[in-house]
Amino acid sequence: MALMSGLRIAIREKRFDGEAVLGEIEITAAPGEFIALVGPSGAGKSTLLSLVAGLDAHYDGAITWDSAPLSRPGQSPEHMGMMFQEPRLMPWLTALDNVRLVEAERAARESGFESRAAALLDEVGLEAAHQVWPNQLSGGMQRRVALARAFVNEPRLLLMDEPFVSLDMPTGNRLRRSLLALCERQRPLVLFVTHDLREALAMADRVLFMGDAPARVLLDHPVDTPRGRDLESVDVAAAQQSLLARHPQLLSGILGADANQDENNEEQA
Ligand SMILES: Nc1ncnc2c1ncn2[C@@H]1O[C@H](COP(=O)(O)OP(=O)(O)OP(=O)(O)O)[C@@H](O)[C@H]1O
């Protein structure tokens, strides 16, 4: 096989308890690309991310980066950043120490190591909150800490599993802008799981639509509008209609998923 740069996911099958959750999935992506994974609940999006993260090695297939196996279970891949639905901060550490924790291994190994944690917290708008405990931070601010933490090791691959779900629209938009500004500078490859087609269209270069279990990629849709728009400016109804007209296999269960979810969410920042 020819050497290729970036990510290659080639899964033949993933089962849980004898039940196929992922079918044949082939995805290639280049460094710097922002890819959204959209699909119905239970389709297997989080499962796919956990395979890429190396958290689960029990599947039939191969996942490589620059043609070499991406990660092995039990190793903490330094070149990978992650962010989940829950900020998952350590409650006994300040915001700054939560971010620095991820750098600890490098700090121990590299002489003259300079922490980037404080600069990153500043960059996501938490200049005044370095020494604050997680339980003193709003939900939106906790996500900012998690965002800074995801970038602190300058990951080549960033895995994001609905990182901005259940945030109100302005808070979500601010976080999305921060994410894209960090991406602009560091150029990681981003795999971004979302239920929200609007968010996918606002953020991604490509949207991969996944079908029901055993999940496959039904459509690899290039986004031809500028990246980084606020969600309000995405005409999701028109996009849905146009996608359905061109790709009737994308049933409304996939395309309609939670398009309005942000409208009902509480103010968190
Ligand atoms: N550890 C596990 N053991 C058994 N079954 C699992 C496990 N993890 C996930 N599953 C099953 O695999 C399927 C896919 O789950 P997954 O969480 O990957 O879907 P998803 O697309 O991310 O869903 P959602 O959008 O609701 O988060 C579901 O049927 C789920 O119940």
Residue span of the structural domain in which 241 resides: 7-79+156-264
Alpha-carbon dihedral 251, 24, 37, 70, rounded to 10 degrees: 180
Share of the chain above pLDDT 90, in %: 57
Q: How far is the CA of 41 from the centre of ligand 1 (A)?
A: 8
Domain count, the chain: 2
| Low-confidence winner among 78-82, 122-126, 218-222 (lowest mean pLDDT) | 78-82
The winner for highest mean pLDDT among 118-127, 194-203, 244-253 is 118-127
For 152-169, write each residue's pLDDT tens digit.
Answer: 999 999 999 999 998 998
Q: How far is the CA of 46 from the centre of ligand 1 (A)?
A: 7
Residue nearest to atom 9 of ligand 1 (CA): 47
pLDDT for position 260: 42
Q: Quick one: angle between helices 139-151 and 169-186, nearest 10?
A: 10
Q: For residues 138 and 184, state if they share a domain.
A: no
Provide the whole-model pTM.
Answer: 0.88
> Which atom of ligand 1 approaches the CA of 49 most closely?
18
Q: Within 6 Å (CB) of ligand 1, which residues are found?
A: 16-17, 21, 39, 41-47, 195, 213
Q: Would the pLDDT of 146 be above 70?
A: yes
Q: For residues 164 and 75, state if they share a domain.
A: yes
CB 263 within 8 A of CB 169: yes
> Which atom of ligand 1 approaches the CA of 50 most closely?
18
Q: Would the pLDDT of 262 be above 70?
A: no
Q: What is the mean pLDDT of residues 168-180?
A: 92
- State the DSSP H helix or E strand holding residue 20, giving kind and residue range, or none if neither: strand 19-22
Q: For residues 63 and 94, state if they share a domain.
A: no
Q: For residues 53 and 160, state if they share a domain.
A: yes
| Low-confidence winner among 63-67, 158-162, 198-202, 204-208 (lowest mean pLDDT) | 63-67
1 in any annotated domain = no
pLDDT for position 266: 40
Q: For residues 164 and 247, state if they share a domain.
A: yes
CB 208 within 8 A of CB 22: no
What does residue 52 show for φ and ψ, rounded to 5 degrees?
-65, -35
2 in any annotated domain = no
Q: Would the pLDDT of 258 be above 70?
A: no
pLDDT for position 257: 46
> Which atom of ligand 1 approaches the CA of 17 most closely?
4
Q: For residues 138 and 241, state if they share a domain.
A: no
**Final residue belonging to a domain, choices 116, 134, 154:** 154
For 11-62, write each residue's pLDDT tens digit.
Answer: 999 999 999 999 999 999 999 999 999 988 888 999 999 999 888 889 999 9
What's the chain's average pLDDT? 86
> Which atom of ligand 1 approaches the CA of 48 most closely?
18
Q: What is the mean pLDDT of residues 210-236?
A: 83
pLDDT for position 255: 63
Q: Would the pLDDT of 268 be above 60?
A: no
In what order do the strands lie in the sheet containing 206-210?
A: 80-83, 157-161, 189-194, 34-38, 206-210, 217-222
Residue nearest to atom 25 of ligand 1 (CA): 41
Q: Would the pLDDT of 77 be above 60?
A: no
CB 199 within 8 A of CB 215: no
Q: Which of 13, 37, 46 to mutate to test the pocket of ligand 1 (most atoms within 8 A of CB)?
A: 46
Q: Would the pLDDT of 131 be above 70?
A: yes
Neighbours of 261 (CB within 10 A): 16
| Low-confidence winner among 51-60, 87-96, 165-174, 253-262 (lowest mean pLDDT) | 253-262
